[in-house]
Amino acid sequence: MNDAPLVMVPFDAPLPLERLRVPESLDGRVGSNRASSEVVCQLTASNDLEAVQAWLAEFHDSPQTLRNYRKEAERLLLWAVIERGKPLSSLSREDCLQYEIFLSDPQPQERWCGTKAPRFSPRWRPFLGPLSPASRKLALLIVNSLFSYLVKAGYLAGNPLALARRRVRGHSPTTQVQRFLEHDQWQALLATIADLPSDTERDRQYRARTNYLVALLYLLGPRVSEVADHTMGSFIRIRDRWWWHVIGKGRKEARVPVNQDMLNALSTYRRFYGLPPLPTPDDATPLVLNLKGTAGIGDNMIYRIIKDLVARAATRLEIDDPYQAEKLRRASTHWFRHTSITHQADAGIDLRHLQRNARHARLDTTGLYLHAEEKEWHESMEQHRLDK
């Protein structure tokens, strides 16, 4: 690969990253968006192609993700050099707007579009044709992830896509996930749990189970059937880190990180019933027990517990915020999964980690949980005042 001939710009046709050699003037070593020399870069990359390859190497353990991410990074880098005549590390916000237009109609078509062909075939092209609205959105999500990574690594000074107000073309705004608890609703729920009575043994059993169940639903984001169907042996330790090994929808197996809050909740719950703080791999104890601790509970009982809890929390909010109280009253167990993923997105968890936590097959599904742009958009309208 190192012996491949240098390809000069303009290209007769775009080439896959493996064969691409870009002249120094366009390779990004002096890109206008490169971080200043005062910033310590965490990458050894000296140019854009090497920086992109460093980002792609992060996905070596996920072949499908790697292919999807390589495709979008490749398209952007080739477009920047060929169509804009500038390095990827010199792209501006205006360039990104032009790139979004380009994705909807890659021109000239003979240069950019073709039929399916092996990557080293002369017939290979980056596109099969124009991208659909959903595919364009996914492409920009991936490119945004690339830029964010390079900024965090100290390679780029800023992310030109961070200024974008994302638009969901061809879809109603209601397709974005709405069935989740706002942060103030969540705090009302936690306050309700803290105020649960503990006078009798039954009260203490109910309180212990509710604390633990809410931690499960919020920190792991499971489906209710997964909670009912798994045992405590599904918590496993690998290299001193705890994971939840889950068999989910379609019998697909996955692992979800178990953070310290979840581990504490699990240990507290197990101690309450006289069990060792942490389970062993062959622990057949149901994931959630009945109040007496003698058997597991089903998804219907889990649903009823949550409905009772949100009704209590809604009553708590009723006087100060009846609108929020009514929304909270409608919440069900699946809302907790949506809440978990949404709050993770709000906390800034990396998009690729968010997708794996949610166990989404498609990145654009995860994208429906990103609400940060809505907040910024709405806050910007505070500048539009009657008295101005």
3-state secondary structure 318-382: CCCCHHHHHHHHHCCHHHHHHHHHHHHHHCCCCHHHHHHHHCCCCHHHHHCCCCHHHHHHHHHHH
Based on the domain organization, do 106 and 215 belong to the same domain?
no
Based on the domain organization, do 206 and 314 belong to the same domain?
yes
The pLDDT, as a whole number, for residue 362 is 65
The pLDDT, as a whole number, for residue 6 is 36
Residue 380 lies in a domain: no
The pLDDT, as a whole number, for residue 149 is 92
Residue 11 lies in a domain: no
Based on the domain organization, do 334 and 265 belong to the same domain?
yes
Does residue 67 carry a pLDDT above 90?
no
Whole-model pTM over 0.75: no
Based on the domain organization, do 223 and 195 belong to the same domain?
yes
Give the Cα separation of 213 and 297 in Å (integer).
11
Based on the domain organization, do 45 and 22 belong to the same domain?
yes
Arithmetic mean of pLDDT, 251-280 = 93
Give the Cα separation of 45 and 57 in Å (integer).
12
Based on the domain organization, do 215 and 361 belong to the same domain?
yes
Does residue 234 carry a pLDDT above 60?
yes
The pLDDT, as a whole number, for residue 65 is 78
Residue 127 lies in a domain: yes
Q: Is 51 helix (H, G, I), strand (E, B) or coil?
A: helix
The pLDDT, as a whole number, for residue 85 is 92
Per-residue pLDDT band for 61 (boundaries 50, 70, 90) equals confident
The pLDDT, as a whole number, for residue 388 is 52
Residue 8 lies in a domain: no
Give the Cα separation of 139 and 132 in Å (integer).
10
Give the Cα separation of 34 and 44 in Å (integer).
14
Q: What share of the chain has pLDDT > 90, as a percent?
A: 51
Domain count, the chain: 2
The pLDDT, as a whole number, for residue 381 is 47
Arithmetic mean of pLDDT, 87-110 = 94
Question: Considering 131, 149, 174, which residue would you say is the last residue of a domain?
Answer: 174
- Residues 6 or more apart from 139 whose CB is under 8 A from it? 72, 75, 103, 131
The pLDDT, as a whole number, for residue 383 is 60
Does residue 168 carry a pLDDT above 60?
no
Question: Considering 174, 201, 231, which residue would you say is the last residue of a domain?
Answer: 174
**Average pLDDT score, the chain:** 84
Based on the domain organization, do 268 and 123 belong to the same domain?
no
Q: Which residue range(s) make up the domain with 160?
A: 17-174
Per-residue pLDDT band for 270 (boundaries 50, 70, 90) equals very high
The pLDDT, as a whole number, for residue 10 is 46
Based on the domain organization, do 196 and 132 belong to the same domain?
no
Arithmetic mean of pLDDT, 64-70 = 84
Based on the domain organization, do 153 and 245 belong to the same domain?
no
Based on the domain organization, do 66 and 160 belong to the same domain?
yes
Which DSSP category does 26 fall into?
G
Question: Considering 151, 174, 197, which residue would you say is the last residue of a domain?
Answer: 174
Based on the domain organization, do 328 and 251 belong to the same domain?
yes
Arithmetic mean of pLDDT, 56-61 = 85
Residue 379 lies in a domain: no
Per-residue pLDDT band for 9 (boundaries 50, 70, 90) equals very low
Nearest one of 242, 246, 307, 334 to 280, comparing CA atoms: 242
Residue 292 lies in a domain: yes
Say if strands 235-238 and 241-247 run parallel, antiparallel, or are unpaired: antiparallel
Q: List, for residues 304-357, the tens digit of each pLDDT value.
A: 999 999 999 999 888 888 888 888 888 888 888 888 888 887 777 777 777 787
Based on the domain organization, do 231 and 365 belong to the same domain?
yes
